Chains A and B, each alone.
Chain A
Amino acid sequence: MIAAKRAADTLLLLIVMVLAWQALHQAVGATALPAPIPTFAYLAKFLPSARFGESAWATLVSFFYALLLSYAIGLAIGVWMGFHRLSGAVGEPILISLYTLPKVTLYPVVLLIFGLSVAGRVTFGAMHGVLPVALLTMNAIRNIPPVYLKSSQALHLSKWQVIATVLLPATLPEVVAGLRIGFTLTLLGVLLAEMFAAKHGLGSLIINAMQLLQGEEMVSVALVLFAFAALANALLLFIEHRLHRRV
């Protein structure tokens, strides 16, 4: 019942957004912003095309490696700073100020180091994703109630048993929250890198479409990315809520 109501609300929201889009189109004209229906028609033709496939694949590959790096490095830093109190106390403010820094500023440095390669885009994506993963993992470990560890000592659990049956379940919901934000920001980083300077990927496709004044293609790519990000976020949010309820 609640789920049905919520789905209805989401649907309502989408309808209102499409109507607002149509209204904006009427206000500014077709060259500036194409109408929804022609755009969806274009999207249907554009999605199976090879040009879209190549770009999407390029973005997906960069994003996959960037995400792998974000998660591996972020989790490693988070676990280390969570268990080692002093490192955590020293490092947390540094991580937070790096987190709030507009990292686009540093993209030219990445470009100078890696050139216009996949490695540069992967690095830049990972720069965005590492910090939230590290910060939330660290907090998750710090917030484990000490009584959990004491009771596992009282039960004479082995080290691996403690990890598998106490630490992992206790930290998982918050760690997954970190992974979700890391996912979002890594995607943002990869796309920004592609928009700033790249010959491949969906980000460069949008910029090209803008320069050629191909409104339909520009909005189509934006819609695809919007849908991808929103769906992935909803899925991870769902997992997160499930984990929270279980604890």
Chain B
Amino acid sequence: MTRVGWIRLIVIAAAVAALEAACRLGLIDHHVVIPPSEMAQALVRLLISGQDDGQIARTFGIVIVAIAISVAGGFALGVVIHALPRVRRALDPFFATYYAVPIFIFYPVLIVLFGLSVMPIVLMGVATAIVAMVIATLNGLDRVPRVLGKVARVHRMGAMATALRLKLPAAAPYLFTGVKLAVSYAFIGVIASEFILAPAGLGRVISDAYTDFNNPRMYALMLLLVIVATAVNMILHVFDQRWAQRRGIGKP
């Protein structure tokens, strides 16, 4: 690991240790925050007992479904919109504003429409994630070098072959950025919806544990979510860096 990496690790470890010390010394009330070591213990116990396995599977299942729909649907929409410049120009202000509007204000509307079920949560996850994928697809297709079209004509490649063997690889890095954003947005969309109102799921369980003053359970599940979200984002980040390096534009 590099020197900077070590320093970063030490900074994070020091922050956790400081929290642990503050909790143990009574600077932070036990009813407010429990020591990180107790959070980890509670998480291990919870995972071994398997009592929340159903909720965990449900939430991560919804996240995965939302990601799949967003990536596939966002890519397809992006390709269609890219082929229709007039539609695209009309949609430009929509894309520019989309992430400026707190779309969670429409979650209650979805609940009234679909009832308190999985449906509004999946839709909220898709709604937060899909537009990032559409924008990334448009970006990627915009940046396919013109010369590739000429190469295709010289080689008399069909439309399918051009799309699959030239355009897709050329746009791939931008598409991957879209996937990365879609993943983290889908997490936020699904979990925030579960927090606000949901029949089940991790967000709901955490908010119930909060209402019941069940701190070990609450902090254990929070820790789980933080670990999973951070791990997924880090893996995607590492892939991104590798790709960039292979194309010779990344940091060495």
Contacts and interface: CB of A to CB of B under 8 A. Distances in A.
Interface in B91-129: 91-94, 96-97, 99-102, 104-109, 111-113
B109 A222 contact: yes
A233 interface: yes
Contacts of B40: none
* A interface, over-half SS: helix
Contact of B225 (A86, A102, A230, A233): A102
Given A104-B191, A225-B102, A225-B105, A94 B210 contact: no
Which of the four size classes fits the interface of chain B? 35 or more
A207 B89 CA distance: 35
Contacts of B89: 9
A172 B173 CA distance: 29
Contacts of B102: 184, 187-188, 191-192, 225, 229
Nearest to B225: A105
6 contacts: A91-B11, A105-B195, A107-B195, A192-B195, A195-B104, A225-B102
A44 to B, nearest CB: 20
B144 interface: no
A28 B113 contact: yes
Given A101-B226, A101-B230, A102-B187, A113 B32 contact: yes
B48 interface: no
A213 interface: yes
The interface residues of chain B, by DSSP majority, are classed as helix
A210 B188 contact: no
A97 B232 CA distance: 10
B196 A207 contact: yes
Interface in B121-142: none
Contacts of A109: 32-33, 222
A93 B5 CA distance: 10
B111 A210 contact: yes
Given A104-B188, A113-B32, A184-B99, A218 B90 contact: no
Contacts of A180: 100
B108 A210 contact: yes
A90 B7 contact: yes
A145 to B, nearest CB: 19
A209 B105 CA distance: 12
The 5 closest A-B pairs by CB, nearest first: A233-B100, A210-B108, A108-B210, A100-B184, A188-B102
Interface string A182-226: 001001100110011000000100110110010100110110011
A111 interface: yes
A121 to B, nearest CB: 14
Given A94-B8, A188-B104, A6 B196 contact: no
Nearest to B233: A100
A187 B129 CA distance: 19
A97 B188 contact: no
- Residue from the set A101, A213, A232 with the largest chain B CB neighbour count within 10 Å: A101
Given A111-B210, A222-B106, A102 B99 contact: no
A196 B229 contact: no
Contact of B96 (A32, A102, A237): A237
